[in-house]
Structure 1
Amino acid sequence: MNKSSVSSFRLPPAVVVLLRHALPEVAGRTVTAITAEVPAYAEAFAGEMGAKIEGAVRAALAMFLNLIARVEHADPARGAPMEPALEGAYALGRGEAKYGRSLDALLAAYRVGARVAWRDMARISVEAGVDALTVTEFAELVFAYIDELSAASVAGHADELASTVRARRRNLERLGRALIEAEPPHALVAAAEAAEWAPPGTLTAVLLPERAVGNLIDLLDPRTLHVDADGERAVLLVPEAHGAGRAHLIRLLAGREVVVGPARPWERAAESYARADRALAMGLSGDTEEHLVALLLGADPGALADLRARALAPLAGEGEASRAKLADTLRSWLRHQGRREEIAAELFVHPQTVRYRVTRLRELYGDRLRDPDWLVMLTVALAA
């Protein structure tokens, strides 16, 4: 309210007394009107709660009358007369947000309440002989007062929503971290409930630079979880990215600097993250499903080195150049199941050269080239 407007306003004390006396009736009619015109409040105003709200309306109107009556005698030490009313309106706004009611309903209630309360107060003032100019000024002050209460409630509503959003964001971050750290199932369920997050069937880990998250996350399922891995790298846990959903995700990520883990049941999202993280450490990118052999071979580098040494031991006596050519020929021979023309085409040599090298391989390996276990070992060793 404009302080100069309040200080210049004069309402006869006898009229103020009449208005105070009428407050219970005015408050009752105000609540009735709000209940009828703002459906969102019909249930809230019923029963015991209605009586409490009616009391709050009466207190707000009484505060206004106190403000008018005490202007000339205000004690600076007692603080601003409006503060209690504004604090109450702010708390009301926060409470409305907590109960999930919209700002539209709250402001509509203020408008209806102001109209009905003013109609009654104006009638009482006119009947008491207040002149038209004073009634007009009184109206301005009433609606200015309601505007300030509305603004305070709007601020409370906005603050509560912002606080709720921040709290949920923190809970979602905790849930995402719990998932990639493979916390026990009961802890994951509790974290999901705290975050008000409906678990999907599967989650797929996507590793990408933190700077790229903003342009991407809005394109993904709204339940996607975002975990800041180290300030520079982020982890997105994308729901339902399996089957056709995975194909869509891969298309969406095409051309981006990402590593995509496999889809896993949501409680086992840590498995998807672990594979994607391992692929990244190996310098791989894109869809890890396309790098399964490399991932498998890289799981135990020491074991792979030992296997290679054993599998290629028969070539140890050859010269370096010959050993390399024979290893290439053996790899192609395994890949093309001995088809000489295809081996020659792949190696860019004459078929007779292939025949010569294969003969030499048979001399060095003997029956081992017909042993299934040895063929598997050679295939793995030469795939690296």
Structure 2
Amino acid sequence: MTMDEVAEQLRADLQACAVEIALEIQFVVPEYARPADSAFSRRLHWVVTETARSFIDSLGHAEMDWKRLSEIYVATGMYEAQQGRSIERLHTAMRVGGQVACRRFIEAAKRLGWPFWTLGQLIESLFVLLEKLAGAVSQGFADANERIATERERLRGRLCDVLVSDPPGSREAIAELAASAGWPVPPAIAVVAVRKPADREVPALPATVLAGWYGPEPFLVVPASAVEATEEVLALSSGVRAAIGPAVPPHRGAVSFRWARRTLALIDREVIAERGVARCMDHVAAHIVAQGEELLTFAVDARLGPLDELPPRQRAVFARTLLEYMKCRDNAVDTAERLTVHDQTVRYRIRRLRELMGEEIHDPEHRTELLLILHAAVEFGLMSTRPARAPSLALASHLESPATG
């Protein structure tokens, strides 16, 4: 018996075979179980029929062109990816189709008296075809996923920009764009301003974090619930500097980004001591001073002017001592621990400051203001940049004392 004769016998049974394969696939793969008159079921029956017809036509024809059938399976793989389904379901469907076909081949061999070698050749040819079609499915699935991922990254980048735009986008626009990008909108976000060395790779971050790495001012948009985890990742990334803005509703990301950038600028100026990751809300006093730095420069002149009689180095030391002393609620021992000096040194400096500035340093009415001015003077370096005045004779004698610390 020739393969052309076998093909003719199989062709007579083509439609019944296609129906059985389609029904078995829908039974084994629940996601494919649809009403018989649905577009999906009609498409499934058409693909199975075309596959069976192409297989039968290929029997005895080694030069068979599989391009058209391969294109059908590439398109099928792409469709599954676009629907968000796993490729495993499609591979399962193909295995089920192969099993039904083999069972029908065996039944036909018994009924029509095919020789054993004919049945073996049929089954071998079927396995070769299924392997070829599985490759086409995988290619289509991978191509579609790559396009989907590229489009999703584009949408995530667009969403990044919208979330930090000023004026802000509407809640509706944000929700629509986030849905297209596959990003669940959280109740609150924090924007992180980032600076990394040019020769370093970007750190791997969770999918919930939106990254705008490649603009002039790189930043991240982080759900408020993921801030700690993101902070840990950034802290472990060598050479990366980052500042975390305050948590805000998603439509107010521009506010968080603005304060994150300002925090990063204070890190650059060494006003904020952190060299890795800093949180804006941990440095509120520094921000208040920075926003009023020009006015505070005049306030330093007015309130700390008596310290100008000291040399610049001692002037800065005495200002820091007073700042820490006030932070420690006028406790010399605690201040000494913070400054790593002897408590008698602290007491000496406070006496000298009282001589220079009077009882103003203990005046409760101006304590908050003095703390703010001292913070500006010390943390922003406003004391050491001021020119020294010639000290009075009385002050000169004290500066010569070995107890200056």
Q: TM-score, normalised by structure 1?
A: 0.76
Q: Judge conservation of contact 2:247–2:256 (CA < 8 Å) in 1.
A: yes
Q: Deviations over 1:308-334 (max 9, x none)?
A: 334345x39x63549938866765675
Task: Give the number of aligned pairs.
Answer: 354
Matches within 5 A, 1:1-384: 10-13=2-5, 15-43=6-34, 47-68=38-59, 71=61, 81-124=65-108, 127-182=111-166, 183-185=168-170, 186-206=172-192, 207-209=194-196, 211=200, 213-215=202-204, 217-218=205-206, 222-230=207-215, 234-241=218-225, 257=240, 258-282=242-266, 283=268, 284=272, 285=274, 286-288=277-279, 289-312=281-304, 315=306, 319-321=309-311, 324=315, 331=323, 335=327, 349=345, 351=347, 354-355=350-351, 357-362=353-358, 372=365, 375-384=367-376
Q: Judge conservation of contact 2:203–2:233 (CA < 8 Å) in 1.
A: no
- Residues of 1 paired with 2:21 and 2:107: CA distance? 15
Q: Judge conservation of contact 2:195–2:218 (CA < 8 Å) in 1.
A: yes
Q: TM-score, normalised by structure 2?
A: 0.73
Q: Judge conservation of contact 1:205–1:272 (CA < 8 Å) in 2.
A: yes
Q: Judge conservation of contact 2:19–2:45 (CA < 8 Å) in 1.
A: yes
* Residues 157 and 337 (structure 1), Cα distance of their counterparts in 2 relative to 1, 3 Å cut: closer
Percent identity of the aligned residues? Answer: 23
Q: Secondary structure at the match of 1:298?
A: helix
Task: Let me know the Cα RMSD of the aligned residues.
Answer: 3.7
Structure number with higher helix proportion: 1
Letter in 1 for 2:19: G
- Residues of 1 paired with 2:121 and 2:324: CA distance? 98
CA offset at residue 159 of structure 1? 2.1
* Residues 259 and 53 (structure 1), Cα distance of their counterparts in 2 relative to 1, 3 Å cut: same
Letter in 1 for 2:99: R
CA offset at residue 213 of structure 1? 4.0
- Residues of 2 paired with 1:226 and 1:300: CA distance? 32
Q: Judge conservation of contact 2:210–2:222 (CA < 8 Å) in 1.
A: yes
* Residues 209 and 329 (structure 1), Cα distance of their counterparts in 2 relative to 1, 3 Å cut: closer
CA offset at residue 149 of structure 1? 1.4
- Residues of 2 paired with 1:350 and 1:111: CA distance? 84
Q: Judge conservation of contact 2:322–2:350 (CA < 8 Å) in 1.
A: no
Q: Which moved more, 1:346-355 or 1:168-177?
A: 346-355
CA offset at residue 11 of structure 1? 0.9
Q: Which runs of 5+ in 2 are unaligned?
A: 377-405
Letter in 1 for 2:80: E
Q: Deviations over 1:231-286 (max 9, x none)?
A: 8x743322134xxx766665665565433322222222332222222122222433
Letter in 2 for 1:153: V
Letter in 1 for 2:203: G
* Residues 144 and 44 (structure 1), Cα distance of their counterparts in 2 relative to 1, 3 Å cut: farther
Q: Judge conservation of contact 1:264–1:272 (CA < 8 Å) in 2.
A: yes
